[in-house]
Amino acid sequence: MARQVTHAFDFEAFETQLLKLPPDLRSMTEAGWWAFWQEQLDQAMRTDPRAVGLLRVLHELRERARVVGGSWLATSGLAGTTEHGGLLSQEKEGAQWYRRLWKEHLHRLARGLDGDNRLLELFDLEALAQRMEPQRDRLIDWRGLQWLSLSESLWTLSFEPWSALPGITPDPLAHELPQWAWMRVAMGLSVLEKDPTAQALRFYDAFSSLAVMPSETMLREAGKAAPRYLEDEAVVVHDEFESIHQAIHRAA
C-alpha cells in the first residue's frame, strides 16, 4: 500500500515574507512571487486549515498591489500588459498621458448617446487638464477603488483611446481613472455657473483631495445630458387637500 505524502508548508517563512514586502508590490507580480505562494497554499489547504486564512490574505495583498503600484494605469485594469519600468511608470510622462487621454475620453463621453455637449462647449479643457493631479489617485486605497468599481461610480470606457499607448492591450471592461471621475462630476455640477471652469476646479480640488465625497448617484449621473441627481422623483404638492390627495394617489 502506497504511503500518502503530505505537503509541509512553512508558515513561518510565508509570514516573514509578508513582513518584508517591498513598497512597489506590483514588482512582485513580475517576479512570480504571488503565483509561487498561491501554489504552495493551495497544496497546504489539503492538510492544514490555517492555509485558508493565509490564502485570503494573499489575495487581498495581490488586489492591493494592483492599485498602489508604480503606474497610475494600475487603477484602470489596463496595466497588466504594460512592461515594468516602461514609459507609463515614469511620473512626468505618465501624467502627460493621463491628461491627454482624459481629454479624448471626455470628447467621446460628451458625444455619446447620453452625453452632455456642454462639457465641451462651456469649459476650458486645457486649463482643467493642466490642473488635474494624477498622483492623487494614490490617496484611494484598494478597498476604496473596489467600492467605486462595484457601485458603478466609475464609467466604463470605450477602449479606442488606449490604442496609442505602448504595451497596452485594449480592454472593453476598462473603467475611468479616479481623477477623471472627480473632474466629470465637478464639470457636471458647474454647467450653470457664471464661470464654469473656475467653479469646476474648486469642486475638483475638494473631490480629488477627498475633502468631500460625491454620492454614488452623483458619480453615476454627472456628465449625462439629463442627469437625475435625486434618488427619488421630486413631486410638487400644493398646500391644498385636493393636491395632496392626487399626489398620494399617483404614488400609490
Adjacent-strand bridge partners of 27 = none
Tell me the mean pLDDT in the region 95-109.
82
pLDDT at 11 over 80: no
Q: How confident is the model at residue 64 (pLDDT cuts 50, 70, 90)?
A: low
Give SS3 for 156: strand
Give the confidence band of 134 by pLDDT, cuts at 50, 70, 90: confident
Burial readout 47-60 (b: 16 or more C-beta within 10 A, e: otherwise): ebeebeebbeebee
Higher pLDDT, 174 or 196: 196
Give the three-state DSSP class for 226. coil
Whether the predicted pLDDT of 83 surpasses 80: no
Nearest to 155 by CA among 102, 205, 201, 194: 102
Residue 80 pLDDT: 38
165, 157 contact by CB (below 8 A)? no
Q: Which residue has the cell 437625475?
A: 228
88, 94 in Cβ contact below 8 A? yes
